[in-house]
Structure 1
Amino acid sequence: MLMRQIDTIAIFRRLFITWRVLGIILWPFNKYLRIVYDLLMNIFVTFGFPLHLVLGIIFSTNQEQFFINLVIGIASVSCTLKHLLLRYRLSEMLMVNEILARLDERVHTNTDYDYYKRFIERPCNFMINFFTRCYFAVSITALLTALVTGELLYPAFVPLAWRTSISQYIVAILFQFAGVSLQIVQNIANDAYGPVVLCMLSGHVHLLANRVSRVSHSSEENIAGNSTDLALCIEDHKLLRSTSNTVERIVSASYLVQFVGVGINLCIGLVYLLFFADNYFAYVYYSLHVTAIMIELFPCCYFGSMLECEFHDLSYAIFRSNWPTQPRAFRRNVVNFTELTLREVTLYAGGMIRINLDSFFATCKMGYSFFTVIQSMK
């Protein structure tokens, strides 16, 4: 028997710190102060920072500034849109947490606990750490580059005479660094939630398959107990399917924005790389940029495919149970349960793009096709 209890919500607590920083989830202080804080964060980060980047695109004076502003501006606007779409679904996120907490209570064996530690907790923590370190490394690198070159972090529109005044330059640098850092917090909340929740769901489906395969093996003669175990597994399956539908509603629109943003930025990066890049720094920067935006898309697609596979494998887990030795009513329920598990579970972004590895590789193929067409034009 299990002596330790799993706690998937502990992983979400780390992720929800980002929502607290953004002023969305209540801190333990006066609610009116939170509203003021939330309002200031939205004016400064959600709208102010992307606006000054978009104005930088409009007022660009050369092609290098234009492409840099365009890439950063699209990424910033996409981040804002994803943040607003996920913010609207926050109550459903909290509901999913409650459901996962209920599913945690179903784990009663050390084998399942070990699976949770290795294939749920470790990947989720890795993804949160990966997104956090990579995104903040970008902001710190941009800050160091700006201080060395005496330029802004990004060549955006800043209504200050920062080239002629050290104090105004410091103000402009602080504004951009604070803005990009807080938007990075937004982006961590946006980009890490989907892969983490899909990893947890696929893991719980696998744990359900383990429970199903063990039904009636320990006590063949305990017919009532075996029927109860099977009924609980069927209820858990229904709960996981409904939770998958809820998660699809939460991430659908934001991932549509992400797929579109990745596609546009991929094309812009390749166009600049092939037609306008004229130094090694530009080649390295945009090559890494194209690679980074593809890596950003990979985790959600990977765990979307994992969720599909785990649901598909449930029907095989049912036949690993000791169903032949059970009464006719039990076997009838097994057949009905098998019919339920044969229904395909697939998540869609915006109701159009499947969130799985097929979509990821299709995006890679699109980028390669675009690359070859542009190269032939060059």
Structure 2
Amino acid sequence: MFELVTGRGTGNATSKDAFVYFFKGCTIVGISPPKNAGPLYYMWSFIVNLICIITSPITGTVGFVIKYLQDIITTVQFLSGLQAGLNLIGIPVKCATVTFALKRLRGMEPTLAIMDARYTRPEDVALIRNAAVMGNRLVLFFGTSYFLYMLFTVLPPLINGNPPLSVWIPFVDENQSTLHFCVQIFYDLFIMFFVLFHQALYDSYGAVYIYVISTHFQLLVRRVGNLGTDATKSKDDNMKELVDCVVTHQQILELLATIEPVISTTMFTQFLIISSILCVTMVNMFFFADRSTQLASTLYFLCVLLQTSPCCYFATELKADSEKLPLAIFHCNWVEQDQRFRKVIIYFMHHAQMSVELMAMKLFPINVGTNISLAKFSFTLFTFIKEMGIGQEATN
């Protein structure tokens, strides 16, 4: 299984192998039961998702406000909890969207297998193999980044003898007894680990699927550019190759139509909350936090940017790759082909000129420009708070 990350021994890797880590992770968090799942698995699924998906958005926001108003936690603890709690607001929507779409995502694999079978040249097979490896590396990269943030968040409080998060638990007071204190620590670690596990899956899958589809656009551009250049092929062979390229293009668009509604919902949810999260994190970093909390908040700040940046980047690359297809059609050797070939190439050119751009709920384009704009907006909010003197007054 680790060869899908290292790239060794993956000579026969296919496009669907890019999703191995994602679907394994979905099984671990209980939203994709294996074929032999028994009562214990469904019990585990119920517990994990009840705590992480249903109760954590409440305990992660309302709970910290209640504790802060009762002077149970400090301002630093409140802001550290709030910056994470705001991110939890979107997790039920993202979880429900991905869970209900898993069957459709699995349904893309037969089409990908058909498309893979068209490529036998070593350079094309290598590109597919790289896509398979890259997909799993992306999931692992998200998970590693989030758990690194967890490590720097929980270690300083534990070293000082305090609960890592002090998440609100009804009828549990960490200062009342040793048992309550241990329950608080266990609950904090459990909820943080599995919430981050959920987030890593829902934030990475979009980038993985877009990367795989972009790879097939690159392969199609190569094929189209070589049309009519092989002197050993007859005009009928070139015609069959052209028709196959048209079919491949239609299949790519079908895959995009399958994945776009899923990515659209999860990215829109993240776009709505990212600016407020970044703003609260910066207020905590610059006005209240000590050195250890500043380090953890800096890692969290980067992780929040990571939630949308790869997907936006690969969506921008996908659009760029799709725009290369009309140029490849124009530069293929259509001049020396017969009338049938030229008629089909005109049809192909017409449909290939439609730009491929993913949208978040048909409101925001999913691209690097949108991601930068949201980051800039968060800095604007922070500047407004700073000019109002809110942070300085709270510090004093």
> Structure 1 length as normaliser, TM-score?
0.91
2:24 to 17, 38, 56: 17
Amino acid at match of 2:112: L
Amino acid at match of 1:238: Q
In the other structure, the counterpart of 2:249 is 237
In the other structure, the counterpart of 1:324 is 335
Structure 1 residue 278 displacement after superposition:
5.9
8 Å contact kept, 1:83–1:190: yes
| 2:377 matches 1:366 | yes
Structure 1 residue 303 displacement after superposition:
0.3
Question: Counterparts of 1:344 and 1:155 in 2: how far apart (Å)?
Answer: 49
Per-residue CA deviations over 1:64-114 (Å, capped at 9, x if unaligned) read 333222111111222232112211211211122332222221211111122
Report the CA distance shift for 1:113/1:30 in structure 2 as closer, same or farther (over 3 A): closer
Report the CA distance shift for 1:371/1:146 in structure 2 as closer, same or farther (over 3 A): closer
Report the CA distance shift for 1:23/1:333 in structure 2 as closer, same or farther (over 3 A): same
Mapping for residues 102-113 of structure 1, pairs under 5 Å? 102-113=114-125
5+ long unaligned stretches in structure 2:
1-10, 390-396
In the other structure, the counterpart of 1:48 is 55
5+ long unaligned stretches in structure 1:
none
Question: Counterparts of 2:326 and 2:370 in 1: how far apart (Å)?
Answer: 25
8 Å contact kept, 1:220–1:326: no
In the other structure, the counterpart of 2:263 is 251
Question: Counterparts of 2:51 and 2:248 in 1: how far apart (Å)?
Answer: 44
| 2:172 matches 1:160 | yes
Report which stretch shifted further, 164-173 or 180-189. 164-173
8 Å contact kept, 1:6–1:104: no
Structure 1 residue 35 displacement after superposition:
3.5
Amino acid at match of 2:375: C
Amino acid at match of 1:207: L
Structure 1 residue 220 displacement after superposition:
6.2
| 2:153 matches 1:142 | yes
8 Å contact kept, 1:216–1:226: yes
In the other structure, the counterpart of 2:191 is 179
Amino acid at match of 2:216: H
In the other structure, the counterpart of 1:315 is 326
8 Å contact kept, 1:93–1:250: no
Question: Counterparts of 2:290 and 2:233 in 1: how far apart (Å)?
Answer: 76
Pairwise CA RMSD of aligned residues? 2.3
Percent identity of paired positions between Structure 1 and Structure 2: 21
Structure 1 residue 26 displacement after superposition:
2.5
Report which stretch shifted further, 164-173 or 318-327. 164-173
How many residue pairs get aligned? The number is: 374
Question: Counterparts of 1:112 and 1:64 in 2: how far apart (Å)?
Answer: 53
Amino acid at match of 1:46: I
Per-residue CA deviations over 1:330-354 (Å, capped at 9, x if unaligned) read 0121111111111111111122111
Which consecutive segments of 4 or more residues in structure 1 shift more than 6 A? none
Report which stretch shifted further, 86-95 or 25-34. 25-34
Structure 1 residue 360 displacement after superposition:
1.3
8 Å contact kept, 1:304–1:355: yes
Structure 1 residue 28 displacement after superposition:
3.9
Report the CA distance shift for 1:22/1:155 in structure 2 as closer, same or farther (over 3 A): same
Report the CA distance shift for 1:15/1:271 in structure 2 as closer, same or farther (over 3 A): same
In the other structure, the counterpart of 1:66 is 78
Report the CA distance shift for 1:174/1:266 in structure 2 as closer, same or farther (over 3 A): same
Question: Counterparts of 2:12 and 2:289 in 1: how far apart (Å)?
Answer: 58
8 Å contact kept, 1:6–1:107: no
| 2:126 matches 1:114 | yes
> Structure 2 length as normaliser, TM-score?
0.87
